[in-house]
Structure 1
Amino acid sequence: MKLSVIGCGYLGAVHASAMAELGHEVVGIDVDAAKIEQLAAGTPPFFEPGLPEILTSAGASGRLRFSTEMAAVAESTVHFVAVGTPQMRDSHAADMRYVDAAIDALIPFLKEGDLVVGKSTVPVGTAARLAKKIADSGSGAMLAWNPEFLREGFAVKDTIEPDRLVYGVADERAASVLDEVYATALGTGTPRIITDYATAELVKVSANAFLATKISFINAMAEIAEVTGADVGQLADALGHDARIGRRFLNAGVGFGGGCLPKDIRAFTARAEELGRGESVAFLKEVDSINMRQRQRVVDLAVEALGGSVNHKRVAVLGVTFKPESDDVRDSPALDVAVQLKGLGAQVIATDPQGIENARGRHPQLDYTESVDEALAGADLVVLATEWKQFRELDPAWAATLVSGQTVIDGRNVLDAAAWRAAGWTYRGMGRP
């Protein structure tokens, strides 16, 4: 099929490349000329495992091209809208300017029978509004809402082999077109849910809200564990054996971040308040509050570990991205902790396998190094803030030969506490004795 993808950020670039890899003819559109030039050259503007390979492969096949001109979509019959919906500067609501601008720019090129497919995470009610706009244009095009469920670090797999496909449609013809687009996934048994616009929009934000709630729940239990002497890791293991609860995402730590969960739950709350049902999701404000407290808790542990002050102390922060296998530092708890420690007078040396360039762009006041050895050298305190494999597998005996003070704060509860203590370290975890 001939597809277009409007917006070539994280979601759009992955989707365009994956669709071309599956055999479709795809054109990616973005207003950022530098980004388009990078993608056309086969170089992703961000780190995502597996993306360089399919971007290169699809480009070489001739099935994938990129442009800054909306007119390039003229031959396409299915148009995916994958632009960002960031949090507004003056409220928690989602900023819909980019989605609206994309639809407005696309409408003049729509033809009878074309399908516009929303991928962006939007407030419920958006699809119905945009469907009316498309209908009023007289183009004869249809709208569907097809939310994405990508995990950074696994986005390529999640696009090619999704765990479910959700179609929000008002016309059965739209579902038939999407079946053609996703024929490969459907052929392997991927579940398909056909529903209305509002439900499709709510599936995405409610999934993120539930995930955020689960993470904040175990972090709340970590707060209780710390004052009672309980072990939140063992608590999570015991809870996880209950099939109604499950063990995944019951890992206490510095909390969640990134470009989706924090802003999505805030936007969901804002939209519920607009609908007069703010009380229904009022608990999400506490979910957000618990999450932010975890960052402060790591800072407090650092201050406590260094005798009441981090001023003029050298602190090695291992990790600046919000999660491993990503270079994303948006709303990163790890980077936030590093910045807070710097603000308290610490000499912060931060390291990360992929996120240094992005972190430096946001917070140039920190010192960065690509070398773990250099980060640890002479450190009075070590803070593990992002659970990259190379940090999880650090040899505590080797690390002890580099530092000035053998104290480690495990902000992700991923280190072997017994092994680190046996090597002479003072170990502090989140909700662990």
Structure 2
Amino acid sequence: MSQLPVVVIGAGPQGLAAAAHLLERGESPLVLEAGSGPASAVAEWGHVRLFSDWRELVDRAAARLLEPTGWAAPESGYPTGSEWISAYLAPLAAVVGERVRYGTRVTGVGRRGRDRLVDAGRDGQPFTVHIVDASGRESRVDARAVIDASGTWGQPNPAGADGLAAIGERAASGSLSYRIPDFAHPQPFAGRHTVVVGSGHSAATAVNELARIAGSHPGTRVTWVLRRGTVGNTFGGGEADELPARGALGLRAKRAVDAGVVELVTGFRVERVEQAAEGVVLVSEGGRTLPAADRVVVLTGFRPDLSFLSEMRLDLDPTLQAPARIAAEVDPNIHSCGSVRATGASDLAQPEKGLYLVGSKSYGRAPTFLAMTGYEQVRSVVAALAGDHAAAARVELALPDTGVCGGSGAFDGDGDAAGCCAPTLLQIGRAPMSV
């Protein structure tokens, strides 16, 4: 077992950081990446600017691995996804080198000679990681531990309010998108009607960019659809947010709504998507309809792909599909104020000894995962795998406060829920920031 590699699933920010920590501790990582290059998921939203500063986007062990090559960490600023790759993630992947296999999709994880039912000698057997390469050839890799950093990018939630595709949603897929569009090319949106469905940071980003397009292209209409009956924390913590760009994101969206550039619709839960001569029409569960739209941007979050872990024994929260020990911290139904605590190996460990879910996948369906959260996770997990239990138990990160008080509001209420402290969205004079 000690001669086998630690398999890391995914060569994104957390997967590559895990490899850096493993190398620093003398371990042998093997990173399996389905895409053709490093951080392939990030590359798909490379046009989007992050609200985390460079100082929160570089893992410390990765920086130490890169420094002998002459690499220097960017000092400050808010990169786009593409800039994050070119200035940090791609150089890191190059140093990790042949330990990263691209075009390699994980199709299953098991235990050698033991299916899910077998107890006897289970923990003493290596993991078997089943893979398919770009040519379609199947093979298997043995591993002493598995760190699943595969993320959630490939599993966007649908527009349907019951968590399933709305009636007609698949048929109308040509007019729907489930990622933030590249608004640097405004032609598909200028002078047209776009509906944005969702209440998180991605939705706010899309709304802000559409508001910018509306400012210079007359006739552009923007409708922002929230499922909840209240605005709640949709606009975030404003100037109380300890990540200033994240706070500014919500403030810009609030200004666009207050100015009437964006029409905000609450309590609208999509049941059907109909195609009409004028465009796509969303119909709610209560029978309400929206004016026909040229484009619908569905930004309702993501969910983890657990299919390839079907032979693993998992302890996941039934609501979030996140490791049970961290669920209450990140569940938006429960956690409503301030920040969340950093999570480590003891929080992420599964009943399947040696298996850890890290990165955005560790949050399941919960929103607002930060890169720095994932870096702390992999630091702790790798320390545990290396037998340094003191380092694994140590907390080396205090997450920035969101500035949000009062939660997301009552789901079916007519007004905002009572807050846990005074409202924070009092000043909205901060200059707009590019997001």
Q: TM-score, normalised by structure 2?
A: 0.30
Q: In proportion to residue count, which structure has more helix? A: 1
Higher relative contact order by CA 8 Å / sep ≥ 6: 1 or 2? Answer: 2
Whose radius of gyration is greater, 1 or 2?
Answer: 1
Q: TM-score, normalised by structure 1?
A: 0.30
